Amino acid sequence: MAKKTVNTPKAAYKSTAKVVISFGMIAAPVKLYKASEDVDIHFNQLHSTCGHRLKQQPMYCPHCSDREGSKVEVAKEEIIKGFEVADNSYVTFTDEEIASATMGKDSKVVIKEFVPADSLDPIYFDGDVQFVGPDNGGEKALALIANALAKTNRVAIAQMVSRGRLRLVALRSMMNSGGYWSLVMQNLRYNDEVRDACGIPGFDTPVTAEELDLATLLVAKATSEKFNPDKYTDAVRIKLYEMIDAKKTGAVVEIINEKGYDPASGFDLAAALRATLESIK
């Protein structure tokens, strides 16, 4: 059988870093743990004539290769970092120069403020979520932070140096399966990294009062009390695993092409809303 798609054994928790969460005179030594795992199906690139896996070419310099007439491979110690300031013109940096721009070591998460949880738009979230666990002596302070954030429905906004960057992070409480408030940390994008949706055309399109009333009723009718992640599965991943199992036995996989939506066929939005409302029992 191919890899199971549900109820797969979870990997043991392994700390990825040790840091100190600080706010004023409060300091909590903690460990960080990955809060998610990669369950996507990854395909390898194979040679169609023999079926063997292809390998990535070593790093080489196209400029020197063109000049010398053969591929010039570059060793790791010959690689430097450069920032392009004009077409094919760079200013170069050593690792020491880049490190000198950072503000301290990768060891402190400094809380700057607390904001209402619903005021932090998800567009600012960036990257994997990490669980925060106590290090030696940090149990009480960490539990206090997690419970205080839950009680006040607040998120802590903090900054930390990580891998040469001053990162913006959010610390928020999350109820775990044991019934305790735990703490999670997630990278945030800075404001200048987030684009303004005002540049996307189409949102000034007028809608009728009937369409808006029907859409509002549809939202109310399809609303649940809370988000339940158990209701959802990755149907594409499950289908791919089924196809993998079938191919392992030599079976022929049936290809089904569904007809997509054709905007040229005409579309009555109000009628579609009424039909959708009727279909929800």
Please report, for the chain, how many H helices and E strands are present, in that order. Answer: 6, 9
pLDDT at 103: 58
pLDDT at 61: 87
Residues 128, 36 contacting (CB under 8 angstroms): yes
Predicted TM-score of the model (pTM): 0.73
Fold of 15-39+107-193: Ku70; Chain: A; Domain 2 (2.40.290)
Among 144, 157, 147, 145, residue whose Cα is nearest residue 116: 157
pLDDT at 9: 45
Residues 181, 145 contacting (CB under 8 angstroms): no
SS3 185: strand
Tokens standing for residue 203:
């949102």
pLDDT at 179: 92
Tokens standing for residue 265:
């066929």
pLDDT at 265: 64
| DSSP 8-state assignment for residue 264 | G
* CA–CA dist 231, 229 (Å, integer): 5
pLDDT at 6: 42
* pLDDT beneath 70: ranges in the chain: 1-11, 102-106, 258-266, 281
pLDDT at 258: 67
| Residue 191 CB contacts under 8 Å (≥ 6 apart), including other chains | none
Q: Could you state, in order of their start, the residue ranges of all structural domains in the chain?
A: 15-39+107-193, 62-100, 206-279
The alpha carbons of the chain give a radius of gyration, in whole angstroms, of 26
